[in-house]
Amino acid sequence: MRIGFMREMTPGERRIALTPQVAGKLIKLGADVVLESGAGASLGLSDAEFTALGATIADRQAILTGVDILLCVRRPDPAELRQVKAGTLVVGLFDPMFHPDGVQASIDQGLSVISMEYIPRTTRAQKMDVLSSQANLAGYVAVILGAERLDRILPMMMTPAGTIAPANVFIIGAGVAGLQAIATAHRLGARVTAFDTRPVVKEQVQSLGAKFLEIDLGETGQTAGGYATQLTPEQLALQKAGQAKQCAQSDLVITTAQLFGRKAPILIDAPMVAGMKPGSVIVDLAVETGGNVEGVRLNEEVITDNGVRLIGLGNLPGMVAAHASQMYAANLYNLLSEYWDKEQGFVLNLEDDILTSCVIVHQGSLRNDQIRGALENLATPAGKGA
């Protein structure tokens, strides 16, 4: 079975789908691994580091048309997907709700697609869970980035010149990224407070040494998969009012609140930003799905009139691309090896609960109703090309 990967073409994407170590493990399983020359260059990895382990080099066109499985970080451009041989399995972060054009191209071309965002959040699938592996790194990077942009330090310091109080860090959303951000800020000596709409999180926040901000929103909950449910407009207003004072007292605010497959909620509006101290910093981790902060702009840093820095940099895991690739590649290996048969290679068993969730297209047929809605929107003149 031929497994290929290519250079990532998304601007600024430094992560790669396979590291030499994982390519070697796939070869040991019995796969032929083929890569485009320079596929590891963004991490300073030479072709020779892959070929030394038995991988081969081919040009991009040969990979698109000649492999059984194409591994990617981000989905290839739709125009490229339309060149992939029918029946090929493409595996990557397809982001189908925000970029349905890649799904449409895969359907038209008769491909199969595993969208890594749809790996279920179950115990058995944990080792394949790229949302967790990448969000964990994003939470760490958000704190380091925010700390670097502050004009003050995070820990308390008692010196002959006087005592410096610890910085106040406020984390909104305590999922995988938020919990890692709490742990990182706490380790750096900050005084950390956090909030999440899922009440089950309170204990996890406290066990990491942070304070949980209590806001009574009435009935909130989570889906069977553990994701937050959308708040009503009244609940959102209550949340904003409850957070305003905490934001005003904070030096660094990190927002991570997402709703799977939907636009992120605005949790910090312009008056709340206006109430914050000059020199304070907000890092918005939800910026790629619309942002949690009013005024934040994707891939930009904005300084407001009152001197608050809004950081909207996307792809934070890509800032630590070596470790992000190591974890991403390991997630892919764990997925492929779980269903590997010595004779047949990767067996796509649609009865399996993990595969039934993450195989969003099978030989040109769409298998996910949530994505069907996004595709219908793409087909209407207003939604076309959006």
Q: Which residues are catalytic?
A: 121, 126, 129, 132, 227
The distance of closest approach from Cβ of residue 273 to ligand NAD in the complex, given in angstroms and rounded to an integer, is: 17
Number of H helices, E strands in the chain: 13, 19
The distance of closest approach from Cβ of residue 174 to ligand NAD in the complex, given in angstroms and rounded to an integer, is: 5
Candidate list 82, 127, 149, 198; residue touching ligand NAD; CB under 6 A: 198
∠ CA 94-122-361 to the nearest 5 degrees? 30
Binding status of residue 172 toward ligand NAD by CB under 6 A = yes
Which tokens hold the place of 45?
């990895």
Candidate list 19, 132, 246, 289; residue touching ligand NAD; CB under 6 A: 132
Q: How far apart are CA 50 and CA 57, in angstroms?
A: 9
From 69-77, 153-161, 176-184, 325-333, span contacting ligand NAD (CB under 6 A): 176-184
Closer CB to ligand NAD, 121 or 367, in the complex? 121
Q: How far apart are CA 209 and CA 205, in angstroms?
A: 7
Determine the size of the site formed for ligand NAD (CB under 6 A). Answer: 31
Interacting residues with ligand NAD between 243 and 282 (CB under 6 A): 256-260, 265, 267
Pairing of strands 365-366, 359-362: antiparallel
- Alpha-carbon distances, residue 316 vs 15, 123, 350 (angstroms): 11, 26, 33
x/- binding map, residues 178-197, to ligand NAD, per CB under 6 A? x----------------xxx
Interacting residues with ligand NAD between 208 and 227 (CB under 6 A): 226-227
What's at 332, amino acid-wise? L
CA atoms within 13 A on the CB side of 375: 18
x/- binding map, residues 90-129, to ligand NAD, per CB under 6 A? -------------------------------xxx--x--x
Contact of 55 with 27, CB cutoff 8 Å: yes
What distance, in Å, lies between the first and last C-alpha atoms of the chain? 36
From 143-151, 167-175, 339-347, 348-356, span contacting ligand NAD (CB under 6 A): 167-175
Dihedral sign (CA 242, 247, 252, 253): positive
x/- binding map, residues 309-348, to ligand NAD, per CB under 6 A? ----------------------------------------
Contact of 358 with 115, CB cutoff 8 Å: yes
Candidate list 34, 63, 64, 135; residue touching ligand NAD; CB under 6 A: 135
Pairing of strands 157-159, 162-164: antiparallel
Binding site for ligand NAD (CB under 6 A): 121-123, 126, 129, 131-132, 135, 172-178, 195-198, 226-228, 231, 239, 256-260, 265, 267
